[in-house]
Structure 1
Amino acid sequence: MTTIISNSKLTAVIKHSGAELSSLKNNQNKEYIWEGNPDFWGKHSPILFPIVGTLKNNTYTVNSQSYHLPRHGFARDMEFNLIAKTEESATFSIQSNDDTLKVYPFEFELQIIYTLIDSQLDIKYKIINNTETKIPFSIGAHPAVALPGNFENYSLGFEKKEALKYFLLENDLISNQTKQLETENGQIQLNYELFKNDALIFKSLESNSLTILENNKPYVKVDFAVFPSLGIWTKENAPFICIEPWFGYSDTNENSGNLFEKEGIQTLDAYQTFNSKFSIEIL
């Protein structure tokens, strides 16, 4: 089941399964979101909650009790309810239930709000703590932007000039090994060799946005101003690039396992609400 929102410039399609954005087209019917061909990667733009990345041994503890969560959590595999709809916006929701409480012992509501504004799609995350205790969580985006041309004709331009130090993954966990992206004329030229060790993980950035350019011409801008961390990822020979704003990231080998002590974890006080937003702008 899907919901469609549109304005004079864009049309977006959102699956109720995972509240996942599956299409974003301009008024010339050009598609900007990866089609989800399973030969490369069968998703489009999954929502990562209540963890981002991988837990050590897929396990964490709360109050000395062990729980298990798969990579990126469970929200992307849940059926969301459509709770509000206008021509240009749609709001989806899931709430904790008996199944989620077995693997994540906290009562919550997660809302995803999609809104089209001119040539931009805003994606808002709203997390509501329905308990009288703190909730530890991470949340992240994973949109795959379709790159129909030659992959090496695309580049990334970060908003600010900065040292682009990223962390390498080792067995899906964050290692202590880092590298730095080299820029040319302020841009990172894309090539598949960059991703031979999986995603590029930026724990922190000064930039609030980056622009994907095709043959030096601005193509798509992703604004992630409130998100502290960022992942960038693709698969070899795949015609897409994922720009992933995150609150949190995979475990390190040094993690204690206590979810409240996890590096990058967020906490939400009793009966409080967390709000964040990123946007995809077609240029």
Structure 2
Amino acid sequence: MTTTISNSNLTARINHFGAELFSLQNRDDKEYIWEGNPSFWGKHSPVLFPIVGTLKNSSYYYEGTEYHLPRHGFARDMEFILSNKSENSATFSLTSSEESRNVYPFDFELQIIYTLDKNKLIIGYNIINNNNCIMPFSIGAHPAFALPKPFEEYSLAFEYPETLTSYELENDLLSDKSTTLEMIENQISLTYSLFQKDALIFKNLQSKNITISENKKPLLCVQFDDFPNLGIWTKSNAPFLCIEPWLGYSDTVHSSGNILEKEGIQLLEAKKSLKYNFSIEIL
């Protein structure tokens, strides 16, 4: 099943499976979300929960028991319920089940709220801890933006001039190695060589928005005030770019496996909830 929301400027379409955004169009029907061609990458904008990235040995320990979770968790592969709908907004809900507790032993509700406001799509996450104990979690976004022209015609503009330190992956885990990207006037030009070692991973950017430009003309802006970490990724010769606001990231090569000690993990108090959002503005 899919749900459509719209206003006078934009139309967004969301698949109930994974509560995944798969289309964002302006009034001229220009599409901004990657089509999901499986020859490159068969997704559009998956939700990453209750982990972001990869666990060491694809496993973790909680209170002495070992659990296994795939890369980026399970929410992207589960059916959400449409719990609220208006013309320009839709709320999707995923609650814990026997299936989820087998790999993540917590009672939770994850709400994802899509809202259109003028030229902006706001994506909100509400994480609810229904346990009588602390619940560890990470959450992240993975939107892929369609770049139909040659990749080198695009560039990224960061909110502030800063040192861009990207942490390298080793067997999908964060290593001790890092690379500093050269930025000219707050911008970097896109080339596939930037992604030879997989995603660019930033732990603490000063900038909280990034603009994609096409031939120096601003195309869209991703704003992520609530997210301290960011991934930027594409595949070789693929006509898309992912800008991924994260709360958390892959295990480090030094990870102990204890989920409560995981670098970047969030700890949500018993019977509490936390809200985060980011936005995509069409320029």
Fold similarity call, TM over 0.5: yes
After TM superposition, the structure 1 = structure 2 runs for residues 82-97 of structure 1, keeping only pairs within 5 Å, are: 82-97=82-97
CA apart distance, 1:221:
0.1
Corresponding residue of 2:244 = 244
Deviations along 1:182-208, one digit per CA (max 9) or x if unpaired, are 012321000000001100000111011
Corresponding residue of 1:51 = 51
Deviations along 1:65-118, one digit per CA (max 9) or x if unpaired, are 100000000000000000000000000001000000000000000000000000
Q: Distance in 1 between matches of 2:204 and 2:152?
A: 26
After TM superposition, the structure 1 = structure 2 runs for residues 252-263 of structure 1, keeping only pairs within 5 Å, are: 252-263=252-263
Corresponding residue of 1:203 = 203
Report the AA paired with residue 184 of structure 2: E
The question of whether the paired residues in 1 share the 8 Å contact of 2:128 and 2:271 is answered with yes
Q: Distance in 1 between matches of 2:276 and 2:196?
A: 31
Corresponding residue of 1:141 = 141
CA apart distance, 1:135:
0.2
Q: Distance in 2 between matches of 1:129 and 1:168?
A: 32
Corresponding residue of 2:186 = 186
Deviations along 1:217-275, one digit per CA (max 9) or x if unpaired, are 11110000110000000000000000000000000111110000000000100000010
Q: Distance in 2 between matches of 1:282 and 1:186?
A: 20
Report the AA paired with residue 219 of structure 1: L
If the length of structure 1 is used for normalisation, what is the TM-score? Answer: 0.99
Corresponding residue of 1:31 = 31
The question of whether the paired residues in 1 share the 8 Å contact of 2:170 and 2:253 is answered with no
Report the AA paired with residue 147 of structure 1: L
Q: Distance in 1 between matches of 2:209 and 2:184?
A: 18
Aligned residues: 283
The question of whether the paired residues in 1 share the 8 Å contact of 2:47 and 2:142 is answered with yes
CA apart distance, 1:150:
1.1
Q: Distance in 1 between matches of 2:12 and 2:253?
A: 39
CA apart distance, 1:277:
0.1
Corresponding residue of 1:21 = 21
Q: Over the residues paired in the alignment, what is the CA RMSD in angstroms?
A: 0.5
Q: Distance in 2 between matches of 1:227 and 1:184?
A: 24
- What's the secondary structure of 1:12's corresponding residue? strand
Q: Distance in 2 between matches of 1:241 and 1:71?
A: 19
After TM superposition, the structure 1 = structure 2 runs for residues 37-116 of structure 1, keeping only pairs within 5 Å, are: 37-116=37-116
Q: Distance in 2 between matches of 1:12 and 1:263?
A: 34
Q: Distance in 1 between matches of 2:181 and 2:98?
A: 45
Structure 2 unaligned blocks of 5 or more: none
Q: Distance in 2 between matches of 1:137 and 1:222?
A: 23
If the length of structure 2 is used for normalisation, what is the TM-score? Answer: 0.99
Corresponding residue of 2:224 = 224
